[in-house]
Structures are given as C-alpha cells and as structure tokens.
C-alpha cells in the first residue's frame, strides 16, 4: 500500500484537545517548572540515554533491515527530521516501546513488539512514539518516568516536594499522560494510514496474540470500543478514577480505540490524509466541540 508522505505536518493539526487542556493544566501547577529544573540539574536526560546506550542493541540497516526501514518510513510519513536512533531491548512478556532524550531522542522497542507486530502495525507503534518529538513533550514524559524515584528522593528535602504532590501536581501529570495517549494514537494512525491496522495493533498492545485476531474477535472489539465511547461514567467515584489512571500497566485500549474511531468518523483524519489542514492557526486551535465540553479523564468520566 502506497502511503501519503505528510510533508509539513504540524502536531497541532492532530493533537487531541483533551491533551492540550491537560497539558495546560499541568504547566499551570505550582512547582512544575521547579521540578523540570531539578530533573535537568540531576542530569536525568543524560542518565536515561546512557541506560539505553549501555544496555540495548542499536538497530541499523545491516542488523535488522526490515525493522530499520519501517522506522525510517514512519519518520518520513510524519515529517520527523532528524531521525532519532532506534534500540531493541529484551522481551517483557508484552509489547513495550518508549522514547527518551529531549536533545537527542532515542526510541526503544522490545523483542515482543518486533515479533508480535507486522510491518504495518509497527508503523502505528513507531508513529505513536515519534509523535512525542513533534509535540515537544518528551520532557514531560521523562518526568512521568522518573516521578516515583524523584518523589522518594525529594520528599524529605527542603524543596517540599511532598507538598507539591499533595497539591495535585502528580495527579495532573498522570492525567496529562493519559490524555497524551489520544494524540499519539492519532499520529500512529496517520503513520499506518489504516484504521484496521491501528485496531489490531492496539489489540496486540492489550496482550492478544495474532492467532486470536479473527474477524469476529475484531468486529466485537470495535463494537465494544464504540459502546465504551458512548457510556456515561459520571457516577464513578473520583478516588476510583484517580486509582484507575495512575495504574500505568493498564492499556486502556478499548477507550483509546473508541476515541480514535470518533476522530475517523469526524472526517478530520481523512482531511489530513488528503493533505488538507496539515497546519492549524491559533484561532482554530481550541475551537472544537470536544474542547468546549471541557472533558478530562479526572472529572468527566
């Protein structure tokens, strides 16, 4: 399948409004800028990079040509330049990927992802990660990665980090991380350019092996995703919601697929594939029905 190269694509053209609102809330939280400064002082960016360089196998055109070419194609489609380095790490029993490095990004993919996903699905997963470069959100993702360690390290210092967490900064961070998934899911679809491929990739992220992905299973999953997207969860207790989205092992693929289907149904995805509205003006930004509703993961379930 010949895929469109989306030259000039702006992240603003596909970013989910919930992502933008949650990030704005996070950035306005007291102490966030101070924490980012501390992360920089501790050299966290360099440390995460050294961990990858010293522990994982760098992917090149020579050792894993198909995997490398798929990654290059993803970056070409989404107009990512320069192309970050790609590394392979050990299997964990489930599909896992990451991106780190504010100045020099590195993308990591584990053995399970390489073995479970076909080349089309790898486009979706790679698009999911490199989208964080376009949105310039890597610093906040790294903050989420190291938050548990930093919380323990700084809670007893004069920085008063424990008070910042109690004030909601940590919850705001995890709320944004959940909302950011909606954006990178859209980027993954723009990379693979097939909603069926995006769907099977998400199902595999949930742990379902390829041999179980029969037409009936996929069709029922799509029905489930649409049903979830139409549900009203207002009666769910606030504490229950917080416990739900701070659990990082939950994939939320049903909810994410439902949001992705709504985006396709809206026609916005097709406009981008037809290379319309690849950029968005400041006046247009924040003028969507979703944004007016003010939905967010914490309060609008």
CA dist., res. 163 & res. 191, Å (int): 41
- In terms of pLDDT, which residue wins out, 199 or 41? 199
What is the reported pLDDT for 38?
74
Most confident of 27-36, 200-209, 280-289: 200-209
| Confidence band of 103 (pLDDT split at 50, 70, 90) | confident
pLDDT digits (tens, 9 = 90+) for 221-235: 999 999 988 875 555
What is the reported pLDDT for 13?
94
Residues 6+ apart with CB under 8 A from 256: 181, 182, 185, 202
Is residue 127 within 8 A of residue 188, CB to CB? The reply is: yes
CA dist., res. 1 & res. 47, Å (int): 40
pLDDT digits (tens, 9 = 90+) for 155-200: 555 455 554 554 577 778 888 888 899 999 999 999 999 999 999 9
| Confidence band of 90 (pLDDT split at 50, 70, 90) | very high
The ranges assigned to domains in the chain are 11-293
pLDDT digits (tens, 9 = 90+) for 262-296: 999 999 999 999 987 777 655 455 454 444 444 45
Q: Which whole number is the average pLDDT over 30-49?
A: 81
CA dist., res. 45 & res. 42, Å (int): 9
CA dist., res. 291 & res. 269, Å (int): 17
Report CA-CA distances (Å) from 60 to 66, 88, 89, 126. Answer: 10, 10, 14, 15
User: What tokens appear for 156 in the block?
Assistant: 């007893």
What is the reported pLDDT for 301?
43
Burial of 288 (0-12, 13-18, 19+ CB in 10 A): middle
Nearest-Å Rg of the Cα atoms of the chain is 19
């Amino acid at each position: 399948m010949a895929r469109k190269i989306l030259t000039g694509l702006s992240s603003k053209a596909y970013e989910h409004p919930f992502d933008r609102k949650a990030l704005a809330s996070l950035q306005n939280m007291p102490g966030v800028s101070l924490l980012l400064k501390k992360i920089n002082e501790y050299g966290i960016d360099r440390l995460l990079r050294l961990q990858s360089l010293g522990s994982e196998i760098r992917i090149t055109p020579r050792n894993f040509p198909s995997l490398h070419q798929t990654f290059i194609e993803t970056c070409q489609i989404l107009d990512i330049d320069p192309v970050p380095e790609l590394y392979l790490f050990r299997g964990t029993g489930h599909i896992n990927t990451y991106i780190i490095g504010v100045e020099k990004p590195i993308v990591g993919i584990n053995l399970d992802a390489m073995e479970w996903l076909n080349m089309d699905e790898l486009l979706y997963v790679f698009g999911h990660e490199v989208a964080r470069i376009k949105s310039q959100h890597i610093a906040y993702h790294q903050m989420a990665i190291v938050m548990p360690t930093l919380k323990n390290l700084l809670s007893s210092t004069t920085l008063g980090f424990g008070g910042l967490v109690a004030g909601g900064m940590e919850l705001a961070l995890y709320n944004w991380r959940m909302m950011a998934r909606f954006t990178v899911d859209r980027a993954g679809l723009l990379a693979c350019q097939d909603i069926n491929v995006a769907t099977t990739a998400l199902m595999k992220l949930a742990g379902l092996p390829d041999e179980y992905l029969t037409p009936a299973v996929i069709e029922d999953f799509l029905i489930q995703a649409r049903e979830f997207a139409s549900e009203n969860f207002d009666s769910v207790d606030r504490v229950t919601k917080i416990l739900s989205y701070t659990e990082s092992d939950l994939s939320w693929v049903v909810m994410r697929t439902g949001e992705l289907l709504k985006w396709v149904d809206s026609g916005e995805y097709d406009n981008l594939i037809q290379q319309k509205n690849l950029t968005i003006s400041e006046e247009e930004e924040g003028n969507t029905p979703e944004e007016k509703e003010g939905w967010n993961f914490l309060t609008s379930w």
